Each structure stands twice: as C-alpha cells, then as structure tokens.
Structure 1
Amino acid sequence: MRLRPLALLSTVAVSAVVLAGCAGSPEGAETPSPTSSAAAECLVDAKPGAGSDAITVTGEGLDAKIEVPEGTEFDGVQRTILKKGDGDEVHAGDFISIRYQVVEADTNTVVETSERGADGVLPMLLDPANAQRQIVDSTQSPVFIAAAECAPLGSEMVLALPGQEGQGAIVVYMQTLEELPTTASGDDVDAPADMATVKLAKDGAPEVSIPGDDAPAETVIGVLKQGDGPKVGEGDLVTVQYLGVKWSDGTEFDSSWSREAVPSQFQTTGVVTGFRKALEGQQVGSQVLVEIPPAEGYGASEGHELEKETLVFVVDILGTTPLLTAPAE
C-alpha cells in the first residue's frame, strides 16, 4: 500500500511552516479558540507565486477542472486566491465546511476529493494541535490550514505543494463554504430515565449530576438532542464537544470545554469501546449521554487512573467524515 500524495506531502511540505508559526507558543499551551489572539495569526501565511498563479480552474466545486501547465514549478508552498468570499476571515481553530479536489501537478489527475461527504461537502476543524502532531491523514492535515486560513469564508483558492519524498508536486483546489455550529443543534428529546442528569450553560457547556443509584453494569446510551445530519459510520473521523466525569464522585477528568471550547477531532476507533458505541450510528447534531463501566472503559488498562472507574460522557456530535483507504500497489 502507498500513502496518498496529499497525506504524505501535507506532513512534509507544510508541517515545518505550521510548526514554525506555532513555535512561539508557551510549552503546554492549549489549542487557541477561534476568537483568541493566537488563533487570529496566520500559521502558514502562504503567498501567491508564479507556480500557483499559473494554475487554471474552469468551473467550480467538484465539477471544476484544474490544470497545471506543463513545466510549472512550485517554489515552496504557494497559495493563490481565485475568488474572495464575503464572510469572516478563517483562522486555525475554526470549524467550517469545505469542498476540495487534489490534483497531481505533472499529470493533472484528480487523486482525492471531498465527494465522500454529503453533496461533496466535508466538515473541517482547522486544528493547529492536530497539525503539530502531523497526523498522516488528509482530513486532519496542516494542508487545509495552509489553504483556508486568513481568507474570507466563501473563498475559492488553489494551494500548490512542491514534490517531496519521491512524490510529485500536487495542487489542492478548495472552496470554504460556511461556519459550522460548535454545539449540538438537534431537537431536545425527553431525558432518559435512571441516567445521570445534564444541565447546559448558556454557551452549551454541560454539567452532570450523578444519581444515587449503583453504577450500571453495562454501557447505557441516551440521546438528549436528536440531530438530523449524516450518521457516524464505523471508523469515521468525528468532530465533537464532550465532557467526561467519574461516576464515583462526579469530578471531571477530561473535557473539550475546558480547552476554551475548541472541539476535538478523532477516529471512532481511537476511543474506548463504550465511547465508540455512543458515537457510531448517531446523527450529526445529536447530543448523547453515555455511562460506561470499566469493562468498556479503561478496565483493561492496568495502572490507568480510570481503570476502576465508571465513566459518564456528554457528547455533542458536530461532524463526521468517512476516511479514505490508501490504495493498494
């Protein structure tokens, strides 16, 4: 199997400049929120060049035809804005929807698109923390920060990335579409009986009250808000807000809300079994309450601080993206 060009080049050609842009942050600093002064800076600040300016785009969206003239060379990471939108400037930490195509520059062959999303639209969390971790997956890649940042929402652009590590140069054509909600947008439904109770602050942050009953012996899932978006599939990359507390004393052990309310993004296969069960099959826009006994939490992780704890999560499901499988040789 081989990595797709975007997955490989994004970590090689763009990560260095993303990391350089973040190098001045204090050690251990949290991911900036969309309104923080740190998020308002351009992490990559890619400029137009002769290479990106030479690219022609006919049409738009998934129907657009992207052509790179033969012999075009890209001197570093270059970005040309084809059309400026009329929305607010996009910055790292924002949660937006996009359409994109990825094209091999030497053949003008389309190698990846956003078509696996509804109507070719994908939710994208421009998360600088993920960029710094250099996750080899296009949906969390720093390439999307480089393409979208510091341009008005609704813009259309091309990002040119030079060849690296035995791969040819590529072009990312992107449209930024709209800002997405960062709390569950679904309709309220009756709270499930015999489960923990949840109260929401004005900003949507949850507060959990643990009942006086014994902890559940099996994972229990309840829906607090019913969304009407796409269903989370097995292994999808999800974007969520969440709060996790211990059943034993109600204290928080993890929360996106405690990180300036910046959503988190991860694969469903990267969390404990009970959390995964609470995500897969649910619709985007939903808010889910789940109680997870140690057997489907951290019970098998000997020495883990939560090994013997029953966990309670409140999860706002904001977006989901089916991941691409790397093609076989």
Structure 2
Amino acid sequence: MRRQVLVGVVCAALASLVGLSACTPEAAPTGEVTVTGEPGAVPTLEYEKPLTVDEPTVEVIWEGDGPEVADGQAVLVDYYAEAGSDGSVVGETYSAEPKAYLMSAEALGMDIYEALSGQHVGARVLHLVPAAGGQEAPTVAVFDILPTRASGEALEAREGLPTVELGDDGEPAVTMPAAEPPADLVVQPLIRGLGPQVEPGQVITVQYTGLKWSDGSVFDSSWGPGKLPAPFPIGVGSVIEGWDEGLVEQTVGSQVLLVIPPRLGYGGTENELAAETLVFVVDILAASGPTTE
C-alpha cells in the first residue's frame, strides 16, 4: 500500500514509547514512505534513505472498524519504529507483547493523546518525527490500535453457571447462582474470538475480573478507573493452574468464564483465597511470543 505522507493534523510524539520529544506539525515532510503488511503483522517500511523529515506528521494508513478510543479508558497498541537514516529498528512490540496506556493527556502527554483521540480500534497509523531531543535521525513509526475487549461470536452458557452481563465498555458484571460450586474446573467460552489459538509458553494480554463463588465479591480486576489490561505467561505454571488448563487453546478475541476449584486455584497455599472456588471472566486480547513446543 503506497501512501503519500500528508500534512500532519496532530503531533503524535513518540516520546513515551521510544524517547523522542514533542513538537508541532506545520508542513509536509519531503519523503514518501510505503507501508505494507497485514493487520496484526509487523509492518514493512520502504523509503529512500536517509529520509528527510522537516516536520512531524501523522497519517492513518487504514481506518479501524472497532470502537472509538475513549477518554479515561485503556488503549492497547503494537508499534514498530525505525531510524529514518538507515532503517535500523528503534523499538517494537511485535516480538514481545502490546503495550497498554490510559487514554488521557495526563497519562500519555498531550501530543500522543491528541494523536490517538478519535481513532478506532483496528486503525494503523504512520508517524514521522524529525530528529530532536538528542536523536541523530528522524523516526518512522507505525502504530496498530488493538481491542481492549473480547469480540466475536456470542455463545450460550450452560445452565447453573454464573451469569455475565457486559457494560457499555465491556466490563463484566457477574451474578452467582444459588447452588454449591462445582468440584471440577469449568471452562465456558462466552464469546468465541476469531484470532489464533493460545499456546503454552506465550504471554497473553487480558482483561479479567476475579470473584469468589461464596459471596460474589470481586477480589481482583483489570477493569475500572486507572486500570489497564495485563500480560501473563500462560501454560508454564506462572499463574494459577486453572488459568493454564482453561485458557490454553482458546482463541484470541474470546471471552472465557472459568470456575476454578480450590485445588486448581490457591489451595495448599497460605493465600486468603486458598479455600475459595474462584470465578474469572477473561477477555483474551493478544497472545505473543514463542511457545514451549
């Protein structure tokens, strides 16, 4: 896909991500950058080197068709950045896991906040920044805005399980049934995502809510003011066993209800939840990195 870089409408300074300073766009750069690559894949950048960038610019390579990025909520991004002098990599997240930030001027700085404001999940944005703040070369960067909630085919849950209702932002509200908890692990997909399967050894980025079956109280959550999606190694014993057993082989984009008996949770430890049956609602936003196979 070939795009002539347009006059910048905002200065999405890369300061918070790769150490560049903020600035104000006034004119178009002299170079042309070609961006190729599919959604979710590392972008390929082609341009004449060394690239001349007179003023910072932002261009939407393609529009997103998901929800609009909302003030005060999380924004999740993958990014890839090169030095415009020779194409060497300045920074990237595709070989690790995406980064979550709070969508506010206070958290991001005004320049990045303005660049992301009004964008929709699924957008890919090209950003050129002239050399500044100690940098010896201009930076060519691409940002992919990723979902912060599950999306896909809604599935009907079996009877007798906790019920889940979603708020406008995707945050789940969970109601426990008037029944004894199951003795074995329950894995109930509520939304089937269209992404790849989670494999052991990867890092999953998730939104989650954890509750006690006994009284329905929330003991942990990534949702709420000031909170962000969180990364967890999966399938390698780094989280509770019920997560390892229940989330491996689920697909990215899915929302999964887990009912975890004590022996697969914190049983056998001194944790205050050791005797509790745990209920989690987990939105799988990304799965990154190598597998154990």
TM, length-normalised to structure 2: 0.63
Task: Give the one of 102, 107, 110 matched to 2:81.
Answer: 102
The letter of the residue matching 1:56 is G
**Distance in 2 separating the partners of 1:86 and 1:224:** 28
Task: Give the one of 8, 13, 18 matched to 2:19.
Answer: 13
**Distance in 2 separating the partners of 1:113 and 1:244:** 31
1:279 aligns with 2:247: yes
Q: Any conservation in 2 of the 1:157–1:174 contact (CA below 8 Å)?
A: yes
**Aligned position for 1:294:** 262
**Distance in 2 separating the partners of 1:268 and 1:240:** 11
Q: Any conservation in 1 of the 2:128–2:138 contact (CA below 8 Å)?
A: no
**How many angstroms does 1:278 deviate by?**
2.6
Q: Any conservation in 2 of the 1:246–1:253 contact (CA below 8 Å)?
A: yes
The letter of the residue matching 2:31 is T
The letter of the residue matching 2:180 is D
Q: Any conservation in 2 of the 1:105–1:168 contact (CA below 8 Å)?
A: no
**Aligned position for 2:31:** 56
1:196 aligns with 2:164: no
Assess, with a 3 A threshold, how the Cα gap between structure 1 residues 82 and 171 changes in structure 2: closer, same or farther: same
1:227 aligns with 2:193: yes
**Aligned position for 1:65:** 46
- Counting helix residues as a fraction of each chain, which structure ranks higher? 1
Q: Any conservation in 1 of the 2:53–2:130 contact (CA below 8 Å)?
A: no
Q: Any conservation in 2 of the 1:192–1:223 contact (CA below 8 Å)?
A: no
**Distance in 1 separating the partners of 2:59 and 2:112:** 17
**Equivalenced residues, count:** 258
- Residue ranges of structure 1 left out of the alignment (5+ in a row): 1-8, 18-45, 133-140
1:158 aligns with 2:128: yes
Task: Give the one of 204, 207, 213 matched to 1:238.
Answer: 204
Assess, with a 3 A threshold, how the Cα gap between structure 1 residues 288 and 89 changes in structure 2: closer, same or farther: closer
Matches within 5 A, 1:88-99: 93-95=73-75
**Distance in 2 separating the partners of 1:67 and 1:151:** 31
**Distance in 2 separating the partners of 1:200 and 1:192:** 15
- SS of 1:290's equivalent in the other structure is strand
**How many angstroms does 1:207 deviate by?**
1.6
**How many angstroms does 1:285 deviate by?**
3.1
Q: Any conservation in 2 of the 1:243–1:314 contact (CA below 8 Å)?
A: yes
1:252 aligns with 2:227: no
**Aligned position for 2:58:** 81
Instruction: Please tell me the root mean square deviation across aligned C-alpha atoms, in Å.
Output: 4.8
**How many angstroms does 1:311 deviate by?**
0.8
**How many angstroms does 1:246 deviate by?**
0.8
**Distance in 2 separating the partners of 1:146 and 1:54:** 22
Q: Any conservation in 2 of the 1:186–1:227 contact (CA below 8 Å)?
A: yes
- SS of 2:256's equivalent in the other structure is strand
Q: What fraction of aligned residue pairs are identical, expressed as a percent?
A: 28
Task: Give the one of 199, 208, 222 matched to 2:175.
Answer: 208
**How many angstroms does 1:277 deviate by?**
2.9
Assess, with a 3 A threshold, how the Cα gap between structure 1 residues 214 and 157 changes in structure 2: closer, same or farther: closer
**Distance in 2 separating the partners of 1:307 and 1:147:** 45
**How many angstroms does 1:284 deviate by?**
2.6
TM, length-normalised to structure 1: 0.57
